[in-house]
């Protein structure tokens, strides 16, 4: 009986999926947007397959880092989401395409710095706009409790398919290619986000119109319902004739009545063409104004001294008609004052911005939980992206003597993507049962990824490499689905509003520092040492998370 009650209280995932199926067009658009929007992050891991000697591997990780920094620095309101998203798409395309043009037509020493600046800083700001506004638009369309878990699945599944998409677009058709040309091509691919964003906005408006039409069918949504209420309230039934009664009948029917309703019958004597001196929301009777409770509204007479009245009269007498030239002068003066007010408001916004960041940092430094969340958020995605960029040179170095290093590298990428996508489907199907186990699943994600990295690093045999890639894909699927939710649940609503700014800012700075140092080590150090350093860094952040959350395992 208890199992039957639980089944009735908690709906199955299949029931929720059936309810969300009418929005299948939106789901397709969201999946396509997730596939394309993550292509700049995983781009360098694909083009390095046939260009192992390329010394620039950090722009993808730097793009993710500057996205976090911009998210902390630029807090935007929930207004003009679609316009901001389109502007972010344009800025991202400009940054990526211009970095490709610089790589093609410039041979100076500052080429790499220009590519990093355009691809990471400029593109990171556009990426921040697209990513943040996309979630705000989706939050208006889908219910947070019953539908957003499907959007989380599409977010993870779309990322898993991004590597496959990049292999088909940027690797298979090209044998001898120019690095800058592929960057420019990536900018053209990102332009596909514009029609997808427009289609999402159009579909959202269609759903809103359907919802409004459905509400109008109901009793409270029917316009005649509100018209009847308004007529009964404002006394528009005065257009109908009133039955007269004798004094005896009036005396026999005397009882308490609402003064507002009782006064409406006397309002009939006023002709329709005449306008009362009272406001629209007041009732007029015999030259007096009453509110809807029947209380008379008295005229307010301001008592003034005779001296002030005489001064006012003198001023009024001396007033002369304003000329057109004077009007233009006053208009120019008002525009100048408005500009000064906007400038002052901007200075106040900067002061508020600095105060907000400083307040968030002061509060976060005192929280012990903040440090474990900071290390995990800054290393999980960053180490994964850097691992994909370091893997081509590592495979070519260790599998060159065994033959076919390129085939082994392609197999590793396909296995990571396929295991990631498959486990995302499993998490979708078991979402309701696993909602209370998300903390434990995140711990298993850290263990899976750490053990998978070391399996790939050992390179004892192809079996260990394949097993490590499967573990990495499964662990990253769990991290993409539950990491942000688990970190947010570590704090209450007030604490999270104070912590999230400093968390994004410091984690973004750590990502930028890690990616930059990794790129330097990639140029001057052995590839084995570079990969081992990344693995040890991830194990350190994972161990800190495990120490701070060890009680979760014994629940």
Q: pLDDT confidence of 256, banded at 50, 70, 90?
A: low
Q: 270 vs 301, which has greater pLDDT?
A: 301
Q: Is 176 left (phi over 0), alpha (psi -120 to 50) or beta?
A: beta
Q: pLDDT confidence of 290, banded at 50, 70, 90?
A: low
Q: Does the pLDDT value for residue 523 go beyond 60?
A: yes
Segment (H or E) for 152:
helix 148-170
What's the DSSP call for residue 285? E
Lookup result for tokens 């100076």: 108
Strand 296-297 to strand 283-285: parallel, antiparallel, or no bridges (unpaired)?
A: unpaired
pLDDT digits (tens, 9 = 90+) for 39-62: 999 998 888 888 888 888 899 999
CA-to-CA distance for 553 and 555, rounded, in angstroms? 6
In this prediction, residue 435 carries a pLDDT of: 79
Nearest residue to 435 (alpha-carbon basis) of 134, 152, 15: 152
In the numeric block, which tokens belong to residue 221?
Answer: 């949504």
State percent of the chain over pLDDT 70: 69
Crossing angle (nearest 10°) for helices 438-458 and 462-489: 150
Nearest residue to 490 (alpha-carbon basis) of 553, 431, 438: 438
What's phi and psi for 283, nearest 5 deg?
-110, 135
Q: pLDDT confidence of 348, banded at 50, 70, 90?
A: very low
In this prediction, residue 184 carries a pLDDT of: 87
What is the pLDDT of the chain when averaged over all its residues? 76
In this prediction, residue 541 carries a pLDDT of: 93
pTM: 0.73
Q: Does the pLDDT value for residue 373 go beyond 80?
A: yes
Segment (H or E) for 284:
strand 283-285
Q: 367 vs 171, which has greater pLDDT?
A: 367
Q: 174 vs 290, which has greater pLDDT?
A: 174
What's the DSSP call for residue 176? S
CA-to-CA distance for 381 and 84, rounded, in angstroms? 25
In this prediction, residue 534 carries a pLDDT of: 94
Please answer whether residues 481 and 151 qualify as being in contact, where contact means their C-beta atoms are separated by less than 8 angstroms: no
């Amino acid at each position: 009986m208890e199992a039957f009650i639980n089944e009735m209280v908690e709906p199955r995932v299949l029931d929720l999926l059936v309810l969300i199926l009418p929005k299948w067009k939106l789901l397709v658009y969201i999946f396509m947007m997730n596939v394309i929007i993550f292509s700049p992050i995983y781009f360098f891991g694909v083009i390095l397959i046939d260009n192992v000697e390329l010394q620039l591997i950090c722009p993808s990780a730097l793009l993710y880092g500057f996205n976090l920094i911009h998210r902390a620095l630029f807090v935007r309101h929930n207004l003009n989401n679609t316009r901001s998203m389109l502007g972010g798409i344009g800025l991202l395309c400009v940054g990526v395409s211009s970095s490709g043009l610089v790589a093609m037509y410039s041979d100076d020493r500052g080429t790499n710095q220009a590519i990093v600046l355009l691809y990471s800083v400029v593109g990171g700001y556009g990426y921040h706009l697209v990513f943040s506004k996309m979630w705000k638009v989706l939050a208006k369309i889908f219910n947070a409790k019953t539908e957003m878990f499907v959007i989380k699945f599409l977010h993870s599944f779309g990322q898993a398919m991004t590597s496959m998409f990049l292999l088909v677009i940027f690797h298979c058709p090209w044998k001898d290619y120019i690095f800058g040309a592929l960057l420019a091509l990536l900018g053209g691919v990102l332009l596909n986000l514009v029609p997808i964003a427009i289609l999402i906005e159009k579909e959202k408006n269609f759903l809103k119109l359907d919802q409004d039409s459905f509400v109008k069918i109901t009793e409270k949504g029917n316009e005649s319902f509100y018209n009847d209420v308004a007529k009964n309230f404002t006394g528009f039934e005065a257009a109908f004739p009133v039955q007269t009664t004798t004094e005896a009948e009036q005396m026999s029917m005397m009882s308490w009545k609402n003064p507002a309703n009782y006064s409406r019958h006397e309002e009939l004597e006023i002709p329709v063409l005449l306008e009362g001196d009272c406001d629209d929301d007041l009732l007029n009777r015999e030259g007096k104004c009453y509110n809807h409770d029947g209380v008379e509204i008295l005229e307010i007479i301001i008592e003034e001294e005779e001296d002030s009245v005489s001064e006012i009269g003198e001023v009024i007498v001396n007033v002369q008609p304003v000329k057109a030239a004077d009007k233009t002068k006053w208009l120019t003066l008002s525009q100048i004052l408005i500009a000064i007010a906007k400038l002052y408001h901007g200075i106040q916004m900067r002061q508020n911005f600095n105060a907000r960041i400083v307040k968030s940092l002061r509060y976060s430094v005192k929280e012990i939980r903040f440090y474990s969340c900071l290390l995990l958020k800054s290393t999980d995605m960053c180490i994964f992206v850097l691992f994909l960029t370091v893997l081509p040179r590592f495979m070519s170095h260790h599998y060159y003597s065994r033959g076919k290093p390129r085939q082994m590298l392609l197999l590793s990428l396909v296995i990571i993507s396929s295991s990631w996508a498959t486990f995302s489907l499993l998490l979708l199907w078991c979402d309701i049962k696993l909602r209370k186990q998300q903390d434990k699943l995140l711990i298993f994600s850290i263990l899976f990824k750490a053990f998978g990295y070391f399996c790939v690093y050992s390179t004892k045999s192809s079996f260990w490499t394949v097993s490590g890639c499967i573990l990495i894909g499964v662990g990253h699927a769990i991290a993409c689905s539950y990491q942000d939710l688990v970190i947010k649940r570590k704090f209450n609503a007030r604490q999270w509003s104070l912590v999230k700014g400093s968390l994004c800012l410091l984690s973004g700075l750590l990502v930028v520092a890690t990616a930059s140092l990794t790129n330097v080590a990639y140029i001057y150090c052995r590839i084995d040492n570079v990969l081992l350093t990344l693995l040890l860094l991830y194990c350190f952040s994972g161990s800190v998370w495990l120490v701070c959350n060890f009680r979760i395992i014994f629940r």
